[in-house]
Amino acid sequence: MTARLMENAPLAPYTWLRVGGQADRLILPSTEQDLAKALATTPETDPLTILGVGSNVIIRDGGIEGTVIRLGPGFGKVAVDGTKVTAGAACLDARVAKAAAQAGLSGLAFMAGIPGTIGGAMRMNAGAYGGETKDHFVSARAIDRKGREVHLTAEDFAFRYRHSEVPPDLVLIEATFEAPQGDAVEELAKIADIMERREATQPIREKTGGSTFKNPDPETSGGRSAWQSVDAVGGRGRVVGDAQMSELHANFMINRGAATAADLEALGESIRADVREQLGYELEWEIKRIGRHA
């Protein structure tokens, strides 16, 4: 099977916020061989963007220059071997949490609270409910621009809060985590609790991109979290065009139906400006904003 290639491909359907322009070229590889061939035959001077499940990204209205790669279902498998859990980069984080719990492994339940895939979780050291990706990370595999397989360790990632140092043009394809033995019933109960809490406190039924801003340094923010910072400047429920800061969770941005990427970005920047001017510190974006302005 060969990778699907689409020219001038609309990208909004591939993101949770349902906004964004076109990709000059969109490649949808089904296998590692497809991916390696696609990368090896794409000029290294061509800009390359890797798109996951689209849960934590705003693609701007002018689209993305060059080539966009989105991994297919073949990269979505997960397997447990002893205390090791190996998952493809396109595997949903929640699926990894459940597989580990069913195998009686402890510590990965927090992944059930991360709306995305393992590839994105690795790249941004995603975290939720007291856990971070780095906590159980062992190693990863990737494909470089020449189509060669690369093996990576935690040292290569240099994880820190919501960040890693992996080069943006390395396509992550698989990760291995290690978790100690625990009790399957207890771990599955933790996952159920996390899912119930998400349902009650986050607008997960809306078109949303998850957390909009990173939590600021508590020393500079007076202990305020990101959502408390948004609340403090009256940002909860704020609307720009058809973009809105959620009434349910002030750090979640939603598309009420016909928002543009420009609406979403303008809304976020208005919150950042108010926090800077009224509270005296910076709120950093957690959602990635990529592509060209219209």
Rg (CA), the chain: 19
Q: Of 55, 106, 164, 211, which residue is the catalytic one?
A: 211
Q: What is the DSSP string of 140-204?
A: EEEE-TTS-EEEEEHHHHT-BTTB----TTSEEEEEEEE--B--HHHHHHHHHHHHHHHHHHS-T
Instruction: Dig out the tokens for 171 from the structure.
Output: 């396509």
Task: State phi, psi for 200 to the nearest 5 degrees.
Answer: -80, -25
- 239: amino acid identity, one letter: V
Q: Of 32, 174, 187, 286, which residue is the catalytic one?
A: 286
Q: Of 60, 162, 224, 236, which residue is the catalytic one?
A: 162
Is 162 a residue of the active site? yes
Q: Which of 77, 56, 67 is nearest to 4 (CA)?
A: 67
Is 286 a residue of the active site? yes
Residues in the chain: 294
Annotated active-site positions, please? 162, 211, 286
